[in-house]
Amino acid sequence: MPDGMEIYASAIERLDVAARFSDAAPETIERLRRPKQLLEVSIPVRMDDGSLRIFTGYRCRHDDMRGPAKGGIRFHPGVSRGEVMSLAFWMTCKCATVGIPLGGGKGGVIVDPRELSTAELERLSRGYVRAVVDAIGPQLDIPAPDVYTTPRIMAWMMDEFSTIVGRRSPGVITGKPIALGGSLGRDDATARGGYYIIKDMEKDEGWAPPTTTVVIQGFGNAGMHFARLADADKYKVVAISDSRGGVYNPDGLDIAKQIEVKAKTGRIDLSQGDEITNEKLLELECDILVPAALENVITRQNAGRIHAKVILELANGPLTGEADDVLHKAGVVVLPDILANAGGVTVSYFEWTQNQAGYYWSLEEVHEKLQKIMVREYRGVASLAKNKSIDLRTACYTRALNRLAEAHECLGIQSDFAPAEVFKGRPKEAASKA
């Protein structure tokens, strides 16, 4: 069974890059190299035919100095120890980048949920909670949906946790159905967060929406909602795609119709323009390219053929590090995933906050609070990038590291404890440069 540790090794390389632009103490960086807790569990599930299957699951709490850990649970055959650790690390960095008071966590089960009946899926979801119950909780680590996990699964998990602890605990998990304590506005939060950044850039970039072209890869939660928001604002969405391929029309697509067709048939409408492959779609000339499907779709191989001016990474990890370098040199502005798609975790944070208070906000309040955070944090990242002459991704990680260091170092570092004759390094001031 591959453990995916090479993914983790590559993920934490970002720490070393950010360290060059941050005053974080070396010991803080050492702490962030390793997850605080990693749990591997086996989950026995009685199948419908009477047999017993044992699934492997994980929960990782990477860092929780800034607040309880937060991160989804993935049900996928490709889940591995290293993947879960990497995703938890990215959540630590994402929450710190946008300044929400949460740490990073992630979980997963090695399973193809499409092979399970609804009853088996419920038993697996409840079994997962029983297996990791000591590692999660509203003040400890708060899971959420991720690949192939749904609001219904969150409802089963919340119900199981509540039963075990003997009290109703909606704040243990986010992404719940609204009737069980979910938040208004969570459905389109990821796309909306990215869209607020685009709106804030509009003036500086000199975009006039009716002539500003948008290309979107992936027409699921992130991509479809982004298309809807951009279209409602009169941006010209010229190409979209899903796993079966895409459609391109330089005069713009009818997005309302696309959403209707997708809801009815599960597919996008290819008759609105020319059919185009997912590979060619990424290479279209456009103002804004939105990868909103899979990781690693822009690599060293195709980076030189990307003709977008701005890339908004709604997907997690759509660019490889090598592609990043090529695009940066070519002057393409990349809005990195840990900022661009942070609207999702931000509204999850709102959901948890509302659960703690037992008081629920209107949709307008959710939108207003989300916009404030996304715009403030985008501007902070952009100004750090400008001041240090670094790309936006390095600026995000540096900003995150500064905030993490500020929290970790409140408890003291070597220079605070060692006698002057022992500690020869430079005493460190509080890292408050975020």
**Nearest distance, CB of residue 342 and ligand NAD, angstroms:** 8
For binding to ligand NAD (CB under 6 A), which residues are involved? 190, 217-223, 241-243, 278, 292-294, 314-316, 341, 344
Q: Determine which one of 70, 94, 106, 236 is catalytic.
A: 106
| Known catalytic membership, residue 106 | yes
Comparing CB distances to ligand NAD, the nearer of 99 and 220 is 220
Q: Based on CB atoms, which residue is closest to ligand NAD, 161 or 226?
A: 226
Closer of 80 and 217 to ligand NAD (Cβ): 217
Task: Annotate the chain with three-state secondary structure.
Answer: CCCCHHHHHHHCHHHHHHHCCCCCCHHHHHHHHCCCEEEEEEEEEECCCCCEEEEEEEEEEEECCCCCEEEEEEEECCCCHHHHHHHHHHHHHHHHHCCCCCEEEEEEEECCHHHCCHHHHHHHHHHHHHHHHHHCECCCEEEEECCCCCHHHHHHHHHHHHHHHCCCCHHHCCCCCHHHCCCCCCCCHHHHHHHHHHHHHHHHHCCCHHHCEEEEECCCHHHHHHHHHHHHCCCEEEEEEECCEEEECCCCCCHHHHHHHHHHHCCCCHHHCEEECHHHHHCCCEEEEEECCCCCCECCCCHHHCCEEEEECCCCCCECHHHHHHHHHCCCEEECHHHHCCHHHHHHHHHHHHHHHCCCCCHHHHHHHHHHHHHHHHHHHHHHHHHHCCCHHHHHHHHHHHHHHHHHHHHCCHHHHCCCCCCCCCCCCCCCCC
**Residue closer to ligand NAD (CB basis): 24 or 276:** 276
Tell the smallest beta-carbon distance from residue 242 to ligand NAD (Å): 3
Residue 164 or 261: the one with the smaller Cβ distance to ligand NAD is: 261
Shortest Å distance, C-beta 375 to ligand NAD: 18
Shortest approach of ligand NAD to residue 217 CB, angstroms?
5
Which residue in the shown chain puts its C-beta closest to ligand NAD? 220
What is the closest distance, in whole angstroms, from the C-beta atom of residue 208 to ligand NAD in the complex? 28
Give me the active site residues, please.
106
